[in-house]
Amino acid sequence: MIASSNGWWFPGDAMSPLGKRIDELFYLILGIVTVVFVGTQFALGYVIWKGATKKDGESAEFSHGSHSLELIWTIVPAFVLVFIALYQMDVWAEFRVQSYYPEQTQEDGPKFEVTARQFEWRIRYPEAGQPLKNQPEPQDLYAVNEIHVPTGRPVKFNLRTDDVQHAFFAPELRVKQDAVAGLIIPVWFEIPVAGEYQLLCAELCGWGHYKMRAIIVAEPQDKVNEYLARLKEDQDFDGVVKDAEEE
């Protein structure tokens, strides 16, 4: 396809299992829609061509319609549409309905909190071994525009905003969720492959909307722990250790 060979297609394959299923649904709809599109446009073109090339003296057909045709093109699309709707339900439930979240996330609880603000993402991790509380704790660790998550397991986190509405959009993961003032929204995703993934804002939040770029770093759990340890070390830095580089 021209589009995909030029990179005018998805930003890479979906990097989360749920994203893969979203892509499959997309391709299913794309298939159906392409057939309908080609069919109807062709039909339209055909009837116009026939109608425009009628010979002189030939008059238009006199018909007010056809009851059976109406029934066909009501029932068939209805069937297809209901099928599409029902077929999508479970992916949606798994993405958003908390009781359908992967069991792992229910056990782990939220691992960190992402707070959107104009115009950056602030991340708060609980102290190692502690659960995340909704209110900040003295020993919490803070980071900006960089989220470290372990690979290969579903990770749940809390999403909130400091000011106006934002949306957490990770295109490669096919995850999007608005951050609404006054709400704490649990979101989860799973990344099987280590790497860096884009995070940006998808809900208009002011003039700097386009600036809200961050990365999600997926890496093995021990690397995440190392990162958190580094973060803690830096955060507790009191300037006395001579050798410690100033970042």
Partner 1 sequence: MLVKTNRQFTILTIGLALVSFAGCSGSSDYPEAFKSRFVYSDRTDSLIAEAQNGIGELPGVKKLVDDRFGDPQDLMAWTKLPIDFGGISGKLAETPDASIAVKELKISFDGELATAENETILLQFVTGTAAPSVVVVNAWQPETGLASLSAAMEVAPAAGDEVIVGGGQKLVHGRGLYMRHCSHCHGTSGDGAGPTAQYLTPRPRDYRHGVFKFTSTDALSKASKDDLSRVLRNGIPGTYMPSFVPMLNEDDLADVVEYVRFLAMRGEFERKVVSELASDYSEEAVKSRRDSGESRKDIVEELKSFLAEDMQDSLEFVTDDLSGRWDSANSEDALVVPEIARVEDTIESRRIGRELYLSKTINCADCHGISAKGNGPQTTIYEENPVTKQLYTEPGLHDVWDNVNQPRNLTQGIYRGGRRPIDLFRRIHAGIKGSRMPSFKNLKHEDIWHIVNYVLSVPFNAEPGHAPVATSEDPATAASL
Partner 2 sequence: MATVTPAIESHSDGHAHGHEHHHEIGFIKKYVFSTDHKVIGIQFLVTTMLMLMVGGALALAVRWQLAFPWENMPILGKIFTGEGGQISPEFYTMLFTMHASVMIFLVIIPVLAGAFGNFLIPLQIGADDMAFPIWNMLSYWCMWPAMACFAISFVAGGATAGPAAGWTSYPLLSALVNAAPGSGAAQTWWLFGLTLVGFSSMMGSVNYMTTIINMRAPGMTMFRMPLTIWSMFITAILQAFALPVLTAAGFMLVADRMMGTCFFIPAGIIVNNAEPTVGGGQPLLWQHLFWFYSHPAVYIMLLPAMGMVSDILSCMCRKPIFGYKPMVYSMSAIAGLGFIVWGHHMFTSGMNPALGMTFMTSTMMIALPSAIKTFNWIGTIWGGRVRFNAIFLNCAGFVSMFIVGGLSGIFMAAVPVDIYFHDTYFIVAHFHYVLFGSTLFGVFAAIQFWFPKMFGRLMNDTVAKWHFALTFIGFNGTFFPMHLLGIAGMPRRYADPYLHPYLEHLLPMNQFMTISAVLMGVAQFLLLGNFAYSVFMGKKTGRNPWDANGLEWSAPSPPGHGNFDVPPVCYRGPYEYSSPEAKAIGQDFILQTEPPVDASKIAASDTKNVH
Which residues in 151-210 contact partner 1 (CB under 8 A)?
207-208
d(CA 148, CA 89): 30
The single residue among 137, 152, 204, 220 that binds partner 1, judged by CB under 8 A, is 137
Per the document, the length of the chain is: 247
124 contact, one of partner 1, partner 2, none, CB 5-8 Å limit per kind: none
Q: Determine if 144 is a binding residue for partner 1 (CB under 8 A).
A: yes
Indicate which of partner 1, partner 2, none lies near residue 1 (CB less than 5 to 8 Å, by partner kind). none
Q: Which is nearer to partner 2, 19 or 228 (CB)?
A: 19
122 belongs to the binding site for partner 1 (CB under 8 A): yes
Question: Which of residues 159, 214, 218, 228 is near partner 1 by CB under 8 A?
Answer: 214
Q: Report the DSSP pairing between strands 146-150 and 141-144.
A: unpaired
Q: Which of 136, 152, 192, 220 binds partner 1 (CB under 8 A)?
A: 136
Q: By C-beta, is 58 or 236 nearer to partner 1? A: 236
Q: What is the closest distance, in whole angstroms, from the C-beta atom of residue 141 to partner 2 in the complex? A: 22
Determine which residue in the list 72, 213, 229, 230 makes contact with partner 1, applying CB under 8 A. Answer: 213
Residue 239, interface with partner 1 (CB under 8 A)?
Answer: yes
Comparing CA positions, the residue from 141, 203, 157, 204 lying closest to residue 176 is 203
Question: Which of the stretches 33-41, 49-57, 83-91, 212-220 binds partner 1 when contact is defined by CB under 8 A?
Answer: 212-220
Residue selected from 32, 84, 118, 223 as contacting partner 1 according to rule CB under 8 A: 118
Site residues, partner 1 (CB under 8 A):
118-120, 122, 135-139, 142, 144-146, 207-208, 211-215, 234-240, 242, 246-247
